[in-house]
């Protein structure tokens, strides 16, 4: 089997990829993650996923490299990683009673041939109306400061939602595994084979 590389330092993406039971390594790509002027969330997530995968081509010249990036939006406003409890509270207040769309870009890059496949999966989260005490308590308990949108769906963040809609719940956490498996099977990489 070809060497499989996850172009990410995210512990969340690493944990997701481990679910497949395939041997892989992780490496941190170093790219500029700023959005271009007027770049849509879908285009940005897809471009960054591709650039992350391609950034490691020289370090791993005969590998299948997985790049992924996620952009969250609420009312047309991008939600990054809050970094502080105050910013997390502001984001959650903005999301209260609204739908947040997560655009997760995915790229599988073959560093041997230079071929790549890219796509973007969407996942929608409908927040219930939240009061300031719930928001404060949630941040205190789950500490979602390194998560776009200021919540961890795999943790207590589930208590913030009315519903979630999408094809693959892993997309919300940052790596659409169903679509990734489709791409990997093209290279005869399959944990069930």
What integer is the mean pLDDT of 50-56? Answer: 98
Mean pLDDT of 82-111: 97
* In the predicted structure, residue 164 carries a pLDDT above the cut 90: yes
pTM of structure: 0.91
Domains in the chain, CATH or no CATH each: 3-185 (3.90.950.10)
pLDDT at position 15 over 90: yes
What integer pLDDT is reported at residue 121 of this predicted model? Answer: 97
For residues 21-42, average pLDDT: 94
| Other beta carbons within 10 Å of 74 | 18
116-139 burial: b if 16+ Cβ within 10 Å, else e:
bebbbbbbebebeebeeeebeebb
Residues designated catalytic: 69
- Per-residue DSSP letters for 138-190? HHHHH--TTSTTS--TTTGGGGGEEEEEES-HHHHHT--HHHHHHHHHTTT--
pLDDT at 3: 96
Measure the CA–CA gap between 40 and 43, rounded to whole angstroms: 5
Q: Report whether pLDDT(148) > 90.
A: no
Q: Give me the mean pLDDT over the 150-163 stretch.
A: 93
Whether 64 has a pLDDT exceeding 90, the answer reads: yes
**Which tens digits make up the pLDDT trace of 168-184?**
999 999 999 999 999 99
Report how far apart, in Å, the C-alpha atoms of 5 and of each of 88, 111, 166, 171 are. 31, 10, 26, 19
Rg for the chain (alpha carbons), in Å?
17
Rounded distance between C-alpha atoms, residue 35 and residue 177, angstroms: 25
Taking the C-alpha atoms of residue 105 and residue 134, their distance in angstroms, rounded to an integer, is 31
Q: With 90 as the cut, is the pLDDT of residue 42 above it?
A: yes
Instruction: Please give the share of the chain, as a percent, with pLDDT higher than 70.
Output: 100
The residues near 92 (Cβ < 8 Å, ≥ 6 apart) are 127, 130, 135, 138, 139, 150, 151, 160
What's the pLDDT at 112?
Answer: 97
pLDDT bucket at 193, cuts 50 / 70 / 90: confident
- With beta carbons less than 8 A apart as the criterion, state whether 17 and 79 touch: no
29 pLDDT above the threshold of 90: yes
């Amino acid at each position: 089997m070809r060497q499989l590389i996850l172009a990410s330092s995210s512990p969340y993406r690493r944990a997701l990829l481990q679910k497949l039971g395939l041997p892989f390594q992780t490496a941190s790509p170093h790219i500029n993650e700023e959005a271009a002027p007027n770049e849509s969330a879908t285009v940005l997530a897809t471009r960054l996923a591709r650039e992350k995968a391609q950034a490691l081509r020289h370090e791993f010249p005969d590998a299948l490299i997985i790049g992924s990036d996620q952009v969250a939006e609420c009312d047309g406003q991008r939600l990054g990683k809050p970094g502080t409890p105050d910013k997390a509270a502001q984001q959650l207040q903005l999301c209260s009673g609204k739908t947040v769309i997560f655009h997760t870009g995915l790229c599988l890059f073959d560093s041997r041939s230079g071929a790549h496949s890219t796509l973007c999966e969407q996942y929608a989260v409908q927040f219930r109306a939240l009061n300031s005490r719930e928001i404060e308590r949630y941040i205190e308990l789950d500490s979602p400061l390194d998560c776009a949108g200021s919540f961890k769906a795999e943790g207590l963040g589930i208590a913030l939602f009315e519903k979630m809609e999408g094809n693959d719940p892993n997309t919300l956490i940052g790596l659409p595994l169903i679509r990734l498996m489709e791409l990997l099977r093209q290279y005869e990489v399959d944990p069930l084979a």
